[in-house]
Amino acid sequence: MKYQQPQKLQAVILDWAGTVVDFGSFAPTQIFVEAFKEFGIEVSLEESRGPMGMGKWDHIRTLCDIPEIAERYRAKFGRTPTDDDVTAIYDRFMPLQIEKIAVHSALIPGALDTIEILRNKDLKIGTCSGYPKVVMDKVVELADQNGYSPDYVVATDEVPNGRPYPAQSLENVIALGISDVAACVKVDDTWPGILEGRSAGMWTVALTCSGNALGLTYDEYKNLDKAQLEQERQRISQMFEPSKPHYLIDTIADLPAVIDDINARLARGEMPQSN
């Protein structure tokens, strides 16, 4: 049997916070700050955003490995954080996250319209997140109440390795019955999420303004003047460059035009791994 390249996309695999819900990705970042504070360690919102996209235990481990944060911990406890310390912070993070997830559960403006357009193009909607399943269950429940119900959901603790490994995206491919990874596009607001899609052999779309990289509320984003917004786009574009996204757009509302462009490229014989 001869291999045939896909001629059009079959599925879109979407991140959650900062992509479809929670403009600015505040739910996870603010809770990291609060969890560390309960141990007497000051972590800024900017610091907490650095490893965003990873599984939450790995995120905390990465934060604890930052020299400045490790030194604050050493000054408080007389040692740098061990894996047991990371687990203790994670165990406090989890109930705080579940308790407050509803505060930042609103759908990103334009998300539902975009999902409808994607479905009208016969695309399946897969999803994955850096949240563990116990948090994702609540996120999915709240999204369903707001009118968003994807075809599949994979939490970070449901696969052997979370982002930037490709396991969650590939789990979507299997569950959705997709014939070729090149017929999928991964959409995310973080570099680990883009690397996840790239490593899975998919097209990738990085969101510059709705998520962790810009870190503003929707109103704050809309109130930026054109020059400042363009400056932020350039900064975020440079931040994403090492992960090599195929496309950069402001928010999910801009995704339909990208889908059309990818379909045109596939029809011409282009593949994500060759770009």
Catalytic residues: 15, 56
Angle (CA) 243 148 97, round 5°: 65
Nearest to 139 by CA among 59, 24, 255, 20: 20
Any binding-site annotation on 17?
yes
Q: Judging by DSSP bridges, how do beta strands 152-154 and 124-128 pair with one another? A: parallel
In terms of C-beta distances under 8 Å and separation of at least 24 residues, what long-range contacts does 31-40 make, across chains too? 31/93, 31/96, 31/97, 31/100, 32/59, 32/60, 32/63, 32/93, 34/96, 35/60, 35/89, 35/90, 35/92, 35/93, 35/96, 36/63, 36/69, 36/89, 38/92, 39/76, 39/88, 39/89, 39/92, 40/76
Any binding-site annotation on 183?
no
List, edge to edge, every strand of the sheet that includes 184-188: 152-154, 124-128, 11-14, 184-188, 203-207, 247-249
CB 205 within 8 A of CB 246: yes
Q: State both tokens at 207.
A: 């969101």
Give every CB contact of residue 179 below 8 A, 6+ residues apart in sequence: 6, 10
Give every CB contact of residue 196 below 8 A, 6+ residues apart in sequence: 128, 163, 164, 165, 166, 168, 169, 186, 188
Any binding-site annotation on 58?
no
Measured on CA atoms in the order 185, 190, 196, 199, is the torsion positive or negative? positive
Q: Please give the annotated binding residues for Mg(2+), written as ranges.
A: 15, 17, 189
**Binding site members:** 15, 17, 189
